[in-house]
Amino acid sequence: MVQINRERLLGDLTTLRSFGATGTGVVRPSLSDIDMQARAWLRDRMSDAGLRATIDGAANVVGLSPNDGPALVVGSHSDTQPTGGWLDGALGVIYGIEVARTLLENPDTAHLAIDAVAWCDEEATYTSCLGAKAFCGVLTDDDYSATNAEGESVAQALERVGVKGTEHERLDTTRHVGYLEAHIEQGPHLEQNGQRIGVVTSIVGLGGLRFEFVGEQNHAGTTPMAMRKDAGVALFEFATRARKRISAVASPSTVWTFGDAELHPGAESIIPGRASLLLQFRDPNSDVLDLIDAEMRSLVSEMTTEGPVDVVIDEVRERIAPTIMDAEFQQHLDAAAERHSSGAWVRMPSAAGHDPMVLAHHLPCAMLFIPSIGGISHDFAEDTSHDDIALGCQVLADAAVSILEAQRG
Ligand SMILES: [Zn+2]
């Protein structure tokens, strides 16, 4: 079996952390100067690993194995949230490089092909999963015109960083047989249950609904209670009933959030004439998402019938379906996890979005999680023990070998 190099892995993660380091965290939004400096360094590390590395037309860093296929694409994103942690994305990128070089330097596995990748803009500084979309050839005009907070478009940013006109590395279905990504869990489940490896079964789907409450604005002193059409009261009543309705149909994996609520005009002495409430819900199972949606629609018609305030429901976004991970790849990850962490691994859904939400439409995907200390992520305090970091890479390397050997027959 192959053996990853723990010190080399941790050393590269520490160097990548230095690009945009801010306290214990990292500020490296996609296509910023510091992000491009990190990408140039990643390209050089991929070259050092024996890969043919480039920064492509979407600012993806891609390192192609010198070996013929079947090849596995292994990596993650190297951009961060506006104020992010040092491991979100970075972990999977350095794993990709470490797995590639570990296999190439071992005579037993030197014939196997790993193409390492650092995707651009998974975190949606401009548009989510920009690099993965480019790799799959599904970038749209809307993606190119998407802007960051400063109003710069993707097209302008790619020109500014000097990759406009550079070719895009593309998924090659005659070569690429799948995609593997390791990531920190970004939640508390592994740590709380004493598990060290999570084999991801699916990435949860997501629905978003907006509820508008239409009542009648009036004087808060002179309007008798019986005459009121208070949109604010209706909103709070709706939210209370919604909590019970959702709980009744939720699975243990369901999470849901009222992320915003507004009363209009929002003044002490005015009965709100209108109000709005935003609901987001996530689950690995489409049926559960459908049930929650149906419960909300029935509650809306129930409350509108009861009066005195009308409730209107609207979709905030198109429903995102759950992304199912490849069944065979999961078995390879299970076996590698059991070999190195017997009894301390678990299959689990991902509650956060990742690049496979795009990639899995085009090639088989699998993901591996390692614990997040305290379940903290998207924060400077994000961290994972060095032992868990090393273990995750070893499991990923073993799984990559067994997947590729199985592909070669
Ligand atoms: Zn991430």
Expressed in angstroms and rounded, the spacing between residue 187 Cα and the centre of ligand 1 is: 12
pLDDT for 358-391, tens place per residue? 999 999 999 999 999 999 988 899 999 999 999 9
Q: What pLDDT is recorded for position 408?
A: 85
Confidence of residue 317 (pLDDT cuts 50, 70, 90): confident
Task: Tell me which of 164 and 317 has the higher pLDDT.
Answer: 164
Residue closest to 187 by CA, chosen among 200, 168, 205: 200
Q: What pLDDT is recorded for position 409?
A: 79
User: Residue 328 corresponds to which tokens in the numbers above?
Assistant: 């065979």
Q: What pLDDT is recorded for position 61?
A: 98
Q: Taking 90 as the threshold, does the pLDDT of residue 43 lie above it?
A: yes
Expressed in angstroms and rounded, the spacing between residue 237 Cα and the centre of ligand 1 is: 37
Beta strands in 246-354 (DSSP E): 255-264, 270-271, 274-283, 310-315, 323-324, 345-350
Expressed in angstroms and rounded, the spacing between residue 50 Cα and the centre of ligand 1 is: 26
Expressed in angstroms and rounded, the spacing between residue 378 Cα and the centre of ligand 1 is: 9
Domains recognised in the chain with CATH numbers: 6-203+322-408 (3.40.630.10), 205-315 (3.30.70.360)
User: Residue 133 corresponds to which tokens in the numbers above?
Assistant: 């979309």
Expressed in angstroms and rounded, the spacing between residue 301 Cα and the centre of ligand 1 is: 39
Expressed in angstroms and rounded, the spacing between residue 377 Cα and the centre of ligand 1 is: 9
Expressed in angstroms and rounded, the spacing between residue 323 Cα and the centre of ligand 1 is: 16
Q: Is the dihedral of CA 253, 254, 260, 262 positive or negative?
A: negative
pTM (2 d.p.) = 0.89
Expressed in angstroms and rounded, the spacing between residue 122 Cα and the centre of ligand 1 is: 7
Q: Taking 90 as the threshold, does the pLDDT of residue 39 lie above it?
A: yes
373 pairs with which residues across the strands? none
Residue matched to tokens 């949230």:
81
Q: Taking 90 as the threshold, does the pLDDT of residue 89 lie above it?
A: yes
Expressed in angstroms and rounded, the spacing between residue 241 Cα and the centre of ligand 1 is: 34
pLDDT for 166-178, tens place per residue? 999 999 999 999 9
Expressed in angstroms and rounded, the spacing between residue 85 Cα and the centre of ligand 1 is: 10
Q: What letter would DSSP give residue 374? A: G
Expressed in angstroms and rounded, the spacing between residue 89 Cα and the centre of ligand 1 is: 4
Expressed in angstroms and rounded, the spacing between residue 261 Cα and the centre of ligand 1 is: 28
Q: What letter would DSSP give residue 152? A: -
Q: Is the dihedral of CA 343, 344, 347, 348 positive or negative?
A: positive
Confidence of residue 180 (pLDDT cuts 50, 70, 90): very high
Expressed in angstroms and rounded, the spacing between residue 88 Cα and the centre of ligand 1 is: 5
114 pairs with which residues across the strands? 72
Q: Taking 90 as the threshold, does the pLDDT of residue 318 lie above it?
A: no
Expressed in angstroms and rounded, the spacing between residue 271 Cα and the centre of ligand 1 is: 44
Expressed in angstroms and rounded, the spacing between residue 280 Cα and the centre of ligand 1 is: 20
Contacts of 157 (CB under 8 A, 6+ apart): 31, 126, 148
Stretch 130-144: mean pLDDT, rounded? 95
Angstrom distance (rounded) from CA 285 to CA 288:
6
Stretch 47-63: mean pLDDT, rounded? 98
Stretch 252-261: mean pLDDT, rounded? 95
Q: Where are the alpha helices (DSSP H) in 4-89?
A: 6-18, 33-48
Q: What pLDDT is recorded for position 108?
A: 96
Expressed in angstroms and rounded, the spacing between residue 95 Cα and the centre of ligand 1 is: 14
Q: What pLDDT is recorded for position 235?
A: 98
